[in-house]
Amino acid sequence: MPLGAIHLEFHSSGNHYLWRKVTSTVHNIIVGKLWIDQSGEIEIANSKTKDKCQLKFIPYSYFSRDIPRKVTGVVADNNGKAHYILSGTWDEKMECAKIVQSSRGTSCSEEKQKTVYQTLNPKVLWKKYPLPENAENMYYFSELALTLNEPEDGIAPTDSRLRPDQRLMENGKWDEANVEKQRLEEKQRAVRRRREADEAEAYEEGRQFEDYQPQWFEKRPDPITGEMIYTFKGDYWEVKEKQDWKMCLDIF
């Protein structure tokens, strides 16, 4: 189940969008071919204009005639008037069509009447790029996903791209990577045991225990939802420019 809210803010316009992702379900974990489905509803709200977009991710059903991974949605203003219709799939493309007229459709039930929208021709909002060559040998990663772990000079020594077992695996050294993975995991467990021992000692002595705090983020209340979230402190780029990483822990 998804936790927390996602924010997207455009500083030039002041538009601030907030939403929570739908449920991701992994099928055939034990037996069969693994596959993932997304299901549920999302409300994307603009805190500035109060416009909202309601999206529905339709779960896969063997008996359904709908296309798999289908997504439908409506964009409405702060008065609830619908202006756009969204349709597509969450893994291929999404289209948007402007509403020019709406009416109540006929229904067997007088209590539930479906709204019928007349729209202009749809426009493509986004479309999936073709997968790179030999994608079946690279976990079907997109070109972007394949580059996310590329080494970079001058990054923090705690950057996950520097994790040694990961680098060994990418270089095809599987046996060395497994050995290194076990060493790192044991190192992490040792650090956790030490922190737990320090906390217990502080409790026995009646002292306030200072738990680990993230280096680049701090916990604050979300100004919109009121939930506690981690926000970027903003000092990483200054530290990177100076190449002064002495505050970083030895995690590898």
pLDDT digits (tens, 9 = 90+) for 58-94: 999 888 888 999 999 999 999 999 999 999 999 999 9
115 - beta bridge partners? 104
CA separation for the pair 53, 51 (Å, rounded): 7
From first CA to last CA, the distance across the chain in angstroms is: 31
Would you place residue 112 in the very low, low, confident or very high pLDDT band (cuts 50, 70, 90)? low
- Backbone angles phi and psi of 165, in degrees to 5: -70, -30
**Between the CA atoms of 229, 233, 234 and 236, what dihedral angle is there, to the nearest 10 degrees?**
-110
pLDDT of the residue at 78: 95
pLDDT at 63: 87
- pTM comes to 0.81
Average pLDDT, the chain: 92
The predicted structure's pLDDT at residue 80: 93
> What is the residue whose two structure tokens read 């037996």?
31
Nearest residue to 75 (alpha-carbon basis) of 102, 94, 60, 55: 55
Predicted local distance difference test score (pLDDT) of residue 107:
57
For residue range 154-212, list pLDDT tens digits in order: 999 999 999 999 999 988 899 999 999 999 999 999 999 999 999 999 999 999 998 88
